[in-house]
Structure 1
Amino acid sequence: MVGNSLTSANNMPQTLESILGAEVVAITRGGARLAEFSNEKTRTGQRVREALSSGGFDLVIMQDMSHLAATNPEAHVRSVAAMSKLARSHDASPLLYGTWGYLVGCPRLEKLGMTAEKMCKLMSAGGQQAADVACVPLIDMASVAARYEKPEDLYAADGIHPSKAGSLLIANRITDLVEDLLASR
């Protein structure tokens, strides 16, 4: 798994490891953009390359900055494509974990100049565009959160990061897709 605090929150990689019964290696950095993980000139990118070079990875689950799919979909597409290419060059299948938008009332929404509903739609569309261009499966958590009966239960107090229940839901959605992918091999 490569991503930022939306991936590492609540020890989600360890939760995923427990649910899947498989080893999960997480390379995360708070606030990171996905572009860092495929860039060999960054420390984070070097860590990813070292891990992938060790071999044995079936999947690379990638997650981008919390709002990039909504605010700069072109950069998001480029980042997902680059990380997907890197994963495939090491015989690993890429998978995109698309995050949800910010919760209604989150102060960052005002800074972005959008409503929670608009952000959710843009996150979903940007994630799907990136997944389509890179030919990777997408876990579209923006659509999941939009349909959730009480979305506020999925968020930590900051309205951005997942709560424990949110991280568990994400891990379960990833597990469902991973199991489907492995069954189709």
Structure 2
Amino acid sequence: MADQLNPKTKMGKRTQEALQNEKWDFVILQEMSNGPITSKASFLENAEKLCEKIRENGAKPVFYATWAYQRGGKKLETFGMDYDEMYQKLYEAYHLAADRNHTLIADVGKKFYELSDKVNLYADDGCHPNEKGSQIAAEIIAEVLMN
């Protein structure tokens, strides 16, 4: 999210211009996969700043709460925490950001957690979603926006 706030980066410049020059109903915010855990203070600070800019645009911010790396996967193993712990820390960080900023939250991570033992939602890398995971994410975001 820090890059989105920095007008000197390519992505930040595009984000800032879009928030200044275009009108949006909603803006979806997602941090890098483990950012809410490894850089929690920065995540919360940048989330607040982005929510302010989004509201200045007249739009509503929505947090896209992501999921833990795949249970038993190599990516999770190298991250140094177990599946339940990573899920809980992501859940807490995203919900804290949403509560502090009075925003909507599309809690895709919770749905992944609920389905983790029943359905494979992960691509081969163990951190990105496969087609089924992407479909679930899209459905949850759409439900939040429509309600």
* CA–CA distance in structure 1, aligned partners of residues 7 and 35 of structure 2: 21
CA RMSD of aligned residues (A): 1.5
1:82 lines up with 2:49 in the alignment: yes
Q: 2:38 aligns with which of 71, 77, 88?
A: 71
How far has the Cα of 1:111 moved from its partner?
2.6
Q: Which residue pairs with 2:21 in the alignment? A: 54
- Post-superposition, which runs of at least 4 consecutive aligned residues in structure 1 deviate over 6 A? none
Contact 2:29 2:63 in 1 (8 A): yes
* CA–CA distance in structure 2, aligned partners of residues 149 and 55 of structure 1: 38
* CA–CA distance in structure 2, aligned partners of residues 146 and 177 of structure 1: 18
SS in 1 for 2:99: helix
Q: Which residue pairs with 1:171 in the alignment? A: 138
Q: Which residue pairs with 2:3 in the alignment? A: 36
SS in 2 for 1:122: helix
- Sort the Cα spacing of 1:162 and 1:145 in 2 relative to 1 into closer, same or farther, 3 A: same
* CA–CA distance in structure 1, aligned partners of residues 117 and 144 of structure 2: 23
State the TM-score, normalizing by the size of structure 2. 0.92
1:148 lines up with 2:124 in the alignment: no
Q: Which residue pairs with 1:122 in the alignment? A: 89
* CA–CA distance in structure 2, aligned partners of residues 113 and 99 of structure 1: 18
Per-residue CA deviations over 1:75-124 (Å, capped at 9, x if unaligned) read 21112111111111111111110110100122222332100111011110
Alignment of 1:93-104 (within 5 A): 93-104=60-71
How far has the Cα of 1:43 moved from its partner?
1.4
SS in 1 for 2:120: helix
Letter in 2 for 1:167: S
**Between the two proteins, what is the percent identity of the paired residues?**
30
How far has the Cα of 1:131 moved from its partner?
1.1
How far has the Cα of 1:129 moved from its partner?
0.9
Q: Which runs of 5+ in 2 are unaligned?
A: none
Contact 1:106 1:159 in 2 (8 A): yes
Q: 1:108 aligns with which of 72, 75, 82?
A: 75
State the TM-score, normalizing by the size of structure 1. 0.74
Letter in 1 for 2:63: L
Q: Which runs of 5+ in 1 are unaligned?
A: 1-33, 181-185
